[in-house]
Amino acid sequence: MTLSVLMPVFALMTSLLASVVLFALPEKGHRLRTIINLAAAILKIALVGVMIWGVAQGREYEAAFTMVPGVEFVLRADALSMLFAGLSALLWLLTTIYAVGYLEDSPNRSRFFGFFSLCVASTMGIALAGNLFTFFLFYEMLTLSTYPLVVHRGTTKALRAGRNYIIYTLTGGAVLLFAIAWLHGLVGDLRFQEGGYFSDIDPSMQGPLTIIFVLMIVGLGVKAALVPFHGWLPQAMVAPAPVSALLHAVAVVKAGAFGIIRVVFEIYGLEAAKELGLLAGLSVVAAFTIIYGSTRALYQVDLKRRLAFSTVSQVSYIVLGLCLFGPVGVAGGLVHLVHQGIMKITLFFCAGNYAETLGVHRIDELDGAGKRMPGTSVAFTLGAFGMIGAPPLAGFITKWTMGSGALAVGMDWVVAVLVISSLLNAAYFLPILHRLWFAEQCEPWPHERRWGRLETSAWLLWPPLITAALMLVAGLIANLPFSPLSWAELIVAREVAL
């Protein structure tokens, strides 16, 4: 086998093999478990980095074999897959560091990190999937590997949230499987390819293709938390903070959004999707989800639930960007896959720090926390302003690019959606920042812990500081080569062919 065949396999196997070893470790093997976790994460970043460089130079990485006649298992690295794989690899390392500190005194750590690595393997498989069949295998593997993480604490509330999660996601998976099987019966096994397959649509195929598209969006929209399929996400916030970060920034919601990108770009093609009138309906759903999620966030008093409804809103920026049908707007939607991940993981890291260090879960308990935990609070502040869209942070780049793209194609109403969303973001984030920095602490923290001279454990402090710095850097270097925005523009130029 050549290196071009082995690279995507190695990138997948790092976390898959790590999960097998981690399941077998005894609970007392804390140091060895940490070494395996970090070594696998660092190796994955190295492998993905090599493939990113190769893809930028025009190299191809693909491994494929026939599973049954007419159906292939395909792993392939292209510009679009590397956008998601790069985000997954980088944030997995930081989330692993965070999880090691967060779960330091918790039971069942080998089980947790085993499923944690299996979840990341599933996400990498989704990123590298070269056709719908391979994508679906890892899509369902992600559902099954994240369920034990959601119910990890074993409380009644966690089990209820896990049951709700599995009902939503397995139902969505069944709908997606039906759509894939129907499409396979019509046209056979379809690999993802630039421009899609339906540029010249047979009139007799328009009806079935429209229904199949809707079914695929429903199946993928469950994980992407499109309204009305979003109900599982706020309930899943009973999971530990590293799991919440994984669900919102790296794995589940991003898998749904990434699947929608693949279907629109590389199965149907933007031209065909527009000709069938599919993008107009999808843009309305995305816009409604953006406003609805932000509005619901306003009324949440639990910090993680407010962030969860914020995710419902923010992930739909990606979907809305796809519907702008212009190179600038599409690039804005694609780059938000990365920008939202960095910003949201920062916020969930910080929420976890407040919970672990001060015992704080409610927003009205955060008074004066900025003075007690300045590093965490600075990171949270940057994440909040990034979500609002303040320059020069990553969120500003997303909204500016999408707004410019919408105006370029005459979709002025999208700018109004972006402005309203930003105002709502400000309305539910600024009161939190006021409590952190300007309100005086009136009552003792619910459950305060001390870590020597640092405000919290170093394992918990460094990840949000690094991701906060990354969101600032992503905004400052947006026009430089290999920035997230430049890579999104490369995808538009190379694969979307607008």
Question: Contact 93/117 with Cβ under 8 angstroms?
Answer: no
What whole-number distance in Å separates Cα of residue 352 and Cα of residue 376?
10
Nearest 5°: CA angle at 241, between 432 and 423? 30
| pLDDT above 70 (res 449) | yes
- Residue 182, classed as helix, strand or coil, is helix
pLDDT at 24: 87
> Which of 208-222, 238-252, 352-366 shows the lowest mean pLDDT across its residues?
238-252
pLDDT digits (tens, 9 = 90+) for 255-299: 999 999 999 988 888 877 887 888 888 999 999 999 999 999 999
DSSP string for residues in 17-51? HHHHHHHHS-TT-HHHHHHHHHHHHHHHHHHHHHH
Q: Which residues touch 456 (CB under 8 Å, ≥6 apart)?
A: 353, 356, 357, 373, 376, 449
| pLDDT above 60 (res 498) | no
For residue 1, what pLDDT band results from cuts at 50, 70 and 90?
low
Residue 21 in tokens:
């070893």
pLDDT at 442: 79
Give the mean pLDDT of the chain: 89
The pTM assigned to this predicted structure is: 0.93
Tell me the average pLDDT across 353-376: 92
Tell me the average pLDDT across 445-467: 87
Residue 437 in tokens:
């920095």
pLDDT digits (tens, 9 = 90+) for 378-420: 999 999 999 999 999 999 999 999 999 999 888 999 999 999 9
Tell me the average pLDDT across 157-169: 88
| pLDDT above 70 (res 496) | no
| pLDDT above 80 (res 11) | yes
Residue 140, CA distances (Å) to 133, 173, 200 in order: 11, 7, 32
